[in-house]
Amino acid sequence: MTVEQNVLQQSKSQKHQQTFLNQLREITGINDIQVLQQALKDSNGNLELAVTFLTAKNAKVPQQEEATYYQTALPGNDRYISVGSQADTNVIDLTGDDKDDLQRAIALSLEESNRAFRETGITDEEQAISRVLEASIAENKASLKRTHPEVWSDSPNPYDRKRQDSCPVGLKNVGNTCWFSAVIQSLFNLLEFRRLVLNYNPPASAQDLPRNQKEHRNLPFMRELRYLFALLVGSKRKYVDPSRAVEILKDAFKSNDSQQQDVSEFTHKLLDWLEDAFQIKAEEERDGEKPKNPMVELFYGRFLAVGVLEGKKFENTEMFGQYPLQVNGFKDLHECLEAAMIEGEIESLHSENSGKSGQEHWFTELPPVLTFELSRFEFNQALGRPEKIHNKLEFPPILYLDRYMHKNREITRIKRDEIKRLKEYLTVLQQRLERYLSYGSGPKRFPLVDVLQYALEFASSKPVCTSPIDDIDASAPPSGTVTAQTIPSTTDQQGPSSSEIPSTSPVQRSVIHKPFTQSRIPPDLPMHPAPRHITEEELSVLEGCLHRWRTEVENDTRDLQESISRIHRTIELMYSDKSMVQVPYRLHAVLVHEGQANAGHYWAYIYDHHQRRWMKYNDISVTKSTWEELERDSFGGYRNASAYCLMYINDKEQFLIQEEFNKETGQMLVGMDTLPPDLKDYVKEDNKRFEKELEEWDAELAQKVQQEKLLASQTPRMPAPSSAPVQAGEPEYLEQPSRTDLSKHLKEDSVRAITKALAEQEDRSPETVMQMAIKFEYARLLKLAQDDPPPECDYRLHHAVVYFMQNEAPKKIIERTLLEQFGDHNLSFDERCRNIMKVAQAKLEMIKPDEVNMEEYERWHQEYRNYRETTMYLMVGLELFQKKSYMEALLYLIYAYQNNKELLSKGLYRGHDEELISHYRRECLLKLNEHAAALFESGDDQEVNNGLIVMNELIVPCLPLLLVDETEEKDIAAVEDMRNRWCSYLGQEMEPNLQEKLTDFLPKLLDCSTEIKGFNDPPKLPSYSTHELCERFARIMLSLSRTPADGR
C-alpha cells in the first residue's frame, strides 16, 4: 500500500469514527463532544457500552475531561474533519422508567447498525441519505395520484415549460428534493466545478465492470450528474427533471425510513462521492507522481491547531471541508469564526507555566471554495427532538480572512488582546452610562437628566399657599361648568344648595368627566403640583444647583456615549488596515431553509458574477433577486427562514468563475459550445423531444381550431327579422339574458332621450330626432363618466359608454355603440321609436369597414364584458364572505383578483379597487387556514383529513398568488402567519399518524415557489340584468362601508 493510499485509508476510518460520534449524539441527545469521545474511548469503540456509560442513572462527566477534549489535536493524531451530520429526528426517549428495556432496545439497534456496516461497508449516515431519497421518489410517484394534479404536475402546455432566451434552467422538485436542487444549482454555477463534472471521463479500467461497491455507486452517479449538468447548460426546457440522478442515489443504499434531507449532510456526502470518483481517475492517470484529486484541491483546506495541554505545547495540522459554525449567541459571521478558532482559556496559550488547557486554529491553506455550515439546529433534551435556532446572524458579501491565517497569527493575537481590553473598558463605560439612563432605587427608573429637569420644573412652579383640596370653591362653579354635588336622594329641583348640605351625606353623586361638554380645570388652578413654602433665596439656590447638576449630567452622558461610539468604531476598524485585507472571499451562494427542524423548504441565492446580480433558485423557478431580499430571507430573526450554508469563493482565483475561450479564435464559448461531444449529442436529442412536444401541441391546437370552424360553418343561421336586423359584433351583454331581450335599464334610457328630443326639437323628422336623442344620451353619459361617486355607485356598470369614456376609447367606438343602442329592434314597440330605430340601423349599415376598426371595436366590448364578469366575481365572492361561506367565496375572490389585475394593467379605470379585493382574498385564506387548523387539532381522523384537504386543495395552490408580488407586505405577512400556525405543531406532542400527516404536508406549505401552476375551472356566474347587477353591487358595497374591514 502506498503512502498516499495509507493516508486516504486513515482519513476514511476517521470519518467512520465521526459517524459513531454522530450515532451517540442521536441516541443520547448529548452534544458535548468531549463527553462523547471519552465514552467511546472508555468503551474501546463498543457503541453499546458507550451508550450504557452515557445513559446510566448516575452517569458523570469523565474526570479527564480537559485531556480528552484536546486529544484530537495532539501530535500524531492527524484527522480528516467530517462535518455536516445533523442529529436524526428519530430520537429514543431516555426518560422512561424501564432502563433494562431501554438498554436492550439500544443494544439491538446498535447491533443491527454494526452488522449492516460490517456486511455492506455502508454507514448509518449514508443509509439516512438513502431513506430520504426513497421517500423523495415515492413522493414523486404519489403526486400523480393527487386529487388535483394541476397543482403539482407539469403544465400540459409545453410553451409554459419553454426556456426563455438564456434564462438559467431550474430543477423540478421530484418530491421533497428542494435540498438537492439548492446544492446542485450552487455547485453548477461554479464554472470550474461545472467544467470538472462535464469533462469527467470514467476510468478505462472501470468501464466494463466496477471493481467494488463504491465504483458501482459513484460511476453511474457521475454519468447522470454529467447529463444533468449538460441539460442545465443547453436545454430548451424551463426546468429539467433530476429523477435519474436521484434514483442512482436511492439505489445505492436500501432502507425504509423517510425524512427530509439536510443540506450540509448531503453536500458533505456528495463531495465525498465526487472525491472517490475523481480519485479513481487520478490514480489511473498518474505517472509515478502523487495523484491530485481536483475535488480535494477545490473544496478542502488545512489549519494548524496550536494548543497547550497541562502546560505542554503542541501543534498539529488538520484537514477540513465544510467548516462548522455555531449560530446561537453570536450576531455576525466574524463572531462565529472567532469563537470557532479559539477553544479553552486563551491566556493559557501564551503562558509557559499555566496548568490550563486551550488551543487556537489557524488556517494554513484555504480552499478556493470555502463552505461554512451554520449550525441552526440544537437538540432539546426535554422534548427529545431537535429544534431550529431562528436568531439573526449577519454575514458580509466580501469576507476578509487575514485575521485567521497562520502567517498573521502574531499581529492577530495583538489585535485580539487589544479588542479584549477595549471590550472590557466598553463594558465599564456602558455600566456607567446605564446608571445615568436608569436612575433610581425603586422598581421604576428614569434618566437622571429628566429627574433633575422635573425637579427644576417643580421648584420653578408658582408657589401656592393652600392645600390642593382646600382652594376649590364648590359653591361657585365657573360659567358652563357642571360640578359634582352631594345631595340626598330625596332632594328635588328646589332643594337647598350644595353648600348647605353636610359633606357626610350618605348618598353622593360621583364625578363623571364628559369631554367636550364639561369645562376643563379652572384657569386659576396650577396645572402641576407646586411648592407651598419656599423663599426667594431658597428658590434661587435650588434652581442654580439643579441647572448646574443637569448640565453636568448632560455633559457626562454625552461624553460616555461618544466614548462608547468611538470604541465601537475602533473595534470595527481593527482589521481594516491594508495588511489585513489581502485574503478576500466573495459570497457565491447562500442556501436558505424555511421551516422548523423536522420539516421545511430549501432554496438558494446564487451570485451571477458576470451580470453582477443575485439570482434566486427555487426549484423550477429562477428569478432575479437583490441583496436586500437575500438579507431578509437569510439573516434570520425576521421569520422562519434563515441561511443554513454559506459558500464563499476566493475573490483572487478568477479561474473559478472564468468562462472558457476557443483556443484558436479566442472567442468566448457559451451554451452548447462548452459541452463535450457526447453531452452535446445528449442535449440535442432531449431538445428534439421537446421540440416535438411543441409541434404536437401546435398541431393539436390547429386541429381544434379547424374543427370549430367546420362546426360553425355547418350550424344553420336563424334569419333576422326584416324590421330589425341584428348587427354583427353587437355586444352580447347589451341583451341579457338573451339576444331578444334588451335590458329595461337601457331601453328606458333610450326612450327617455327620444322623448326629450321630440319635446325640444321643432323638426320632427326621424333622423333629426335620432341625432338629438344621441346627443342628449351622450351628454348624460359624459356627466356620469366625469362624476366621482361613492364605491357603491359605479356608473361604469350602468353603460358601456361610461366605461369607454373613462378609459379614453376612440370616438368612433363610442359613436357606433350609441348607434347600436338606438338601432336595437326592441325599440319597435311604437311608431315613434320604430322610425328612429330604422334610421339608426341604416346609419350602421352605411359605416364602411375602414371607418371603424371592427377588431378594435370588439376588443373594447370584450374588455367591458370582462369588467362586468370581474364585478360579478367580486360581488358574489363578497356576498359569500359575509355569509361566512369562505370555501365558496375563495374561488370567486381569486378570479376577481386575477381578472382585475389584468384589467388594471391596461389602465387605472379599467378595474376595481385592487386593495379591496386583496384584503378579502387574504382574509378568506386566513379564515380557512384557522378552520383547517382547528380540524387538525381535533385529532379525529375524518376531521384531520378534511382539514388537510382544505389546505391542499384551497390554500396551498393560492399561496404563490400572494407571494408573486413581493411589494404586497400584508400578503407576505399573511402567508407567514399561516405557515407559522402549522409549524408551531412541530414542537407539540401528537399521535404518530398525525405527525406523519403533518410531515408529509408541511413541505408543500413551505414551498416558496411563486410558480402559478393552475386552478380549478372558474365558477359559473348567474345571468344578471344591468339593473340587477347595479342594485346588488351597491348593496354589498354599502354593507362593507357600514362594517369597516380590519387592516384596510
Active site residues: 178, 593, 601
Among 800, 981, 950, 976, which residue's Cα sits nearest to residue 887? 950
Whether residue 304 contacts residue 315, with contact meaning beta carbons closer than 8 Å, is answered with yes
Three-state DSSP string of 975-1019: HHHHHHHHHHHHHCCCCHHHHHHHHHHHHHHHCCCCCCCCCCCCC
Long-range contacts for 717-723 (Cβ within 8 Å, ≥24 apart)?
721/825, 723/825, 723/828, 723/834, 723/838
The SS3 assignment for 360 reads strand
Within a 10 A sphere around the Cβ of 945, how many other Cβ atoms?
13
Instruction: Kindly write down the DSSP assignment for every residue of 633-667, as one continuous string.
Output: HHS-SSSSEEEEEEEEEETT-GGGTPPPB-TTT-P
How far does Cα 648 stand from its chain's mean position? 23
Residue 80 Ramachandran class (φ > 0 left, ψ -120 to 50 alpha, else beta):
beta
Going along 720-848, which residue ranges are E strands?
Answer: none
Among 904, 812, 824, which residue's Cα sits nearest to residue 849? 812
The secondary structure of residue 715, as a DSSP letter, is: S
Q: Three cell numbers at 890?
A: 375563495
- The contacts of residue 227 (CB under 8 Å, 6+ apart) are 244, 245, 679, 682
Q: Three cell numbers at 717?
A: 343561421
Q: Three cell numbers at 154?
A: 407539469
Long-range contacts for 673-682 (Cβ within 8 Å, ≥24 apart)?
674/195, 674/198, 674/233, 675/198, 675/230, 675/233, 675/234, 676/198, 676/199, 679/198, 679/226, 679/227, 679/230, 680/230, 680/234, 682/227, 682/230
Place of cell 469576507: 399
Q: Each residue of 727-753: b (16+ CB within 10 Å) or e?
A: beebbebbbbeebeebbebbbebbbeb
Residue 864 CA to residue 799 CA, distance in Å, equals: 10
Pairing state between β 385-388 and 398-400: unpaired
Three-state DSSP string of 219-231: HHHHHHHHHHHHH
Residue 840 CA to residue 724 CA, distance in Å, equals: 10
- Angle formed at CA 541 by CA 536 and CA 546, multiple of 5 degrees: 120
Task: Identify any residues that bridge with 369 across adjacent strands, giving them in sequence order.
Answer: 649
Whether residue 399 contacts residue 648, with contact meaning beta carbons closer than 8 Å, is answered with yes
The alpha-helical segments, DSSP class H, found in 143-242 are 149-152, 178-188, 191-198, 213-234
Place of cell 431519497: 133
Among 984, 876, 863, which residue's Cα sits nearest to residue 929? 984
Residue count (the chain): 1048
Q: Three cell numbers at 122?
A: 455502508
- On the question of a cis peptide bond just before residue 737, with omega within 30 degrees of 0, the verdict is yes
The helix/strand count (H/E) of the chain reads as: 32, 16
Within a 10 A sphere around the Cβ of 609, how many other Cβ atoms?
19
Tell me whether residue 48 is exposed, middle or buried, using C-beta atoms within 10 angstroms of its C-beta: 0 to 12, 13 to 18, 19 or more. Answer: middle
Among 524, 540, 521, which residue's Cα sits nearest to residue 460? 540
